Amino acid sequence: MLIHRLAIIGVGLIGGSLARALKRASACGRVIGCARSVGGLEKAVNLGVIDEFHTEVAVAAAGADMIVIAVPLGATAAVFEQMRDHLNDKAVITDVGSVKGTVVQAARRILGPHMFRFVPGHPVAGTEKSGVEASFAELFDGHRVILTPVADTEARAVQQVTKMWEQAGALVEVMEVAQHDKVLAATSHLPHVLAYSLVQTLARVEESEGVFRFAAGGFADFTRIASSSPEMWHDIVFANQKAILTMVERFNQELAILVQAIDANDSHKVMEVFNQAKAVRDEFSANRLKHIPVANELISH
Ligand code: NAP
């Protein structure tokens, strides 16, 4: 068995799905869950996602050989603090946070001499739903997980976390921390900022025009991710503020080009932008379908 005692700190969509996927693969022994609310943890036990729970991080982490931190980014530093003095000698720690720079900074500051056993990670898979009820074993099948080990990270720890994610069905890639945050700002964080902002724009128009009655597939496709957890996205935008603002600026420049072409009745330019974008999107869809066997409607984070 790969993991004897698995501690999942934060048994929500991601933590719960990982526990389910590892159980599906018979890759772990006992699964210990931890969160603040007992109600959610009891639900997780009833659903068979975890075997037991504790509300204190220190107790849940003690004795675990693999600890996965799957809480909102803003809670990660406090979780490091609560577990730091209660780690077993062989424990490997990893996380699933959508931004890596701030997590690595906090880990360096708080974990100190335990830093070698921490493997920063991010599964590039998710849905707009939250909580253990939304978790499912197939979430990571065929999706990428990015690990961003730093100079002090021990190779053994990286190997163990890699094996864990492979057992959960994912494809593991290693990337530099800064590169991760830049890439995700473009592919995930910008689309979420735009989706929230588009819905907000239409909500204001709704007051005078009643537009939502006429909203159809295009609106639904573009804005599904605006149903994602506001708490989670609040933490992400501040944790990756600089890279996100750079991408928003680039988006504004592209939008300005299109707006100017529309304003100037420049049909050649409008067709050029639409054709180029369609070609890129079509190629992306074709490649994606090749790699992801199930749940193609799920969007990556
Ligand atoms: P979620 O469904 O809301 O689950 C979060 C879990 O963390 C809940 O069980 C919550 O339970 C617990 N929690 C919150 N604060 C805590 C604290 N201070 N101490 C202990 N437990 C705490 O969230 P999620 O979607 O799984 O996201 C978790 C992490 O995964 C985030 O960092 C996010 O950036 C990352 N991520 C998310 C996605 C996605 O699509 N959702 C994809 C990739 C990565 P209580 O409220 O009862 O404490």
Collapse the DSSP code of 245 into the 3-class scheme (helix H, G, I; strand E, B; otherwise coil) and give the result: helix
Testing ligand 1's pocket by substitution, the residue of 8, 9, 11, 14 carrying the most ligand atoms inside 8 A of its CB is: 14
pTM (2 d.p.): 0.94
Query: From the alpha carbon of 99, which atom of ligand 1 is closest?
Result: 34
Give the integer Cα–Cα distance in Å for 257 and 276: 14
pLDDT tens sequence for the chain (301 residues): 789 999 999 999 999 999 999 999 999 999 999 999 999 999 999 999 999 999 999 999 999 999 999 999 999 999 999 999 999 888 999 999 999 999 999 999 999 999 999 999 999 999 999 999 999 999 999 999 999 999 999 999 999 999 999 999 999 999 999 999 999 999 999 999 999 999 999 999 877 778 888 888 889 999 999 999 999 999 999 999 999 999 999 999 999 999 999 999 999 999 999 999 999 999 999 987 776 554 434 444 4
How far does residue 70's CA lie from ligand 1's centre (Å)? 5
How far does residue 96's CA lie from ligand 1's centre (Å)? 9
How far does residue 103's CA lie from ligand 1's centre (Å)? 14
- H-helix segments, the chain: 13-24, 38-46, 57-61, 76-83, 101-111, 155-167, 177-184, 190-209, 217-223, 230-239, 241-263, 267-291
Testing ligand 1's pocket by substitution, the residue of 32, 69, 71 carrying the most ligand atoms inside 8 A of its CB is: 71
Pick the residue whose CA is nearest to atom 31 on ligand 1.
72
